[in-house]
Structure 1
Amino acid sequence: MGQEHSNTNDPKENIVVPTEYNIISGLIGLGPDILLEILNEMNNLPDAQKFLIICKKTFELMKHSRFTKIIESLRFVKYTFLIPDKKYRIAESNQFIHLEPDFEHCTVALNPVLSNGIFRIEFIFVNHDEGLHYCVGIAESSCVFGSGKGPDDDGNDKKTVRYWNDGDVGHIGYNYIKGNKEFKCGQKVAIEANLYSKPFSLRFFIDNEEQQNNFIYIPSEIRFW
């Protein structure tokens, strides 16, 4: 038995018509898959929210099966340690370990630089000598911490906000503000920076309890440390 073949010479019958086009008409000319990739490349939720309300087409992305996963990924920032001297200090996953017998100051900033969003980070100190002061805070993005230096050395007292374990908070120089609670090893110390709505602000929490001394007019670009 023979097979039948189409002998048509009309090239139009062999053309596959795409369902999505990249039309030369700006952002709204892109298909949903490309728009979702743009959304996926954003660094924070406020930017994503602005993107979604550009037009009806971007708003419709919320119905896409990939949307929830992309938004969940934007809710979390992946931090990395900027360790000034690795001689006695190591980083494992989300833990920074200060090894004995090194008792020098060690201030570790975290990448990335944060801007245009609302960011929160939580710290827990473990097995720290309670006789020695330790602290958490924020720094201007240009701030660099040297090896064996505290967060307020080398002029960084004017570039950092420092919440010490005795409850004192230092900001712009060596003037300390009292009133926040002390914290100890095992307690959860959280920092929340609002870099989305002006004036930019900073809040502190101990075991999820907001502290009374907070700050406004912080820099537009910061790092946690």
Structure 2
Amino acid sequence: MEVPSEYNIIGGLLGLGPDILLEILSELRLIPNAVQFLGVCNKTHQLMNHQRFMTIIETLSYPIEIINKDPDCAEFIDINCAQKKINKKKDESNTISLVQVLNNGIWTLEALFSNTEGFAAIGIVRDSYDIPAEVDYGAIPHTDHIASFYGQGYPYPVWYKRKGTKGNAGLDDNQILRLEFDSFKGTLILFIDNVQQPVYFSGIKEK
């Protein structure tokens, strides 16, 4: 007789296996609630590696809001509530940020660049810092408030407070880039095509 071990496991969270936990996750309607659920312990965090995880997450609703300081330079196209396409209309420096404050959980953002020739970056900005229009995120004073992973066109793949660090692969076009921010641990980790990069940011406690 086979035992449905994936459903109830002694020693698991409340004795429940991953399939039951995924059912609980699927009942949550808002991504912030799902983020908090995934951050309960290491076992719930591991649900992110389950083959059903992305299917469930796609059913959740958390509209993306973007701060657009230069509407003449960037065009935003809604794909759905969870995805946006950003087209640059001018060849100049711009830093685009999200409205959401990332706290109380584990947050994931995915992006894909095209036609950047290696001159692009993705990262995190202090919520209290107001990024001006038409600025280079790596320049002073912006770099004191923005931690970034850089593209292959730059000499350093990691940049913060005017200091570059090597060790990661530089970003390139047509890669699936995933940032994972853990507000409990204060870490920001980069994955390139599902491969975790060794250099990451830690000690992120300020909003």
Q: With the length of structure 2 as denominator, give the TM-score of the two structures.
A: 0.66
RMSD over aligned CA atoms reads: 2.6
* C-alpha contact (below 8 Å) 2:120/2:171 kept by paired residues: no
Query: RCO higher in 1 or 2 (8 Å CA, sep ≥ 6)?
Result: 1
Aligned mates of 2:102, 2:138 — CA distance in 1: 20
Which of 1 and 2 has greater Rg?
Answer: 1
Please tell me whether residue 165 in structure 1 is matched to residue 151 in structure 2: yes
Deviations 1:139-179 (A, max 9, x none): 111122211101134522111111101252012x1110101
Aligned mates of 1:76, 1:219 — CA distance in 2: 26
* C-alpha contact (below 8 Å) 1:137/1:161 kept by paired residues: yes
Equivalent in the alignment of 1:79? 64
Deviant stretches of 4+, over 2 Å: 39-50, 71-78
1:149 to 124, 131, 135: 135
Equivalent in the alignment of 1:138? 124
When the two structures are aligned, how many residues end up with a matched partner?
156
Equivalent in the alignment of 2:106? 118
Deviations 1:77-106 (A, max 9, x none): 43222111111321001011101xx21101
* Cα pair distance change 1:49/1:81, threshold 3 Å: closer
Deviation at 1:43, TM superposition (A): 3.0
Equivalent in the alignment of 1:67? none
Matched to 1:78, the amino acid is: P
Please tell me whether residue 91 in structure 1 is matched to residue 89 in structure 2: no
Matched to 1:188, the amino acid is: I
Equivalent in the alignment of 1:44? 33
Structure 2 residue ranges without an equivalent (≥5): 1-27, 40-55, 79-83
* Cα pair distance change 1:215/1:74, threshold 3 Å: farther
Please tell me whether residue 105 in structure 1 is matched to residue 105 in structure 2: no
Q: With the length of structure 1 as denominator, give the TM-score of the two structures.
A: 0.61
Equivalent in the alignment of 1:22? none
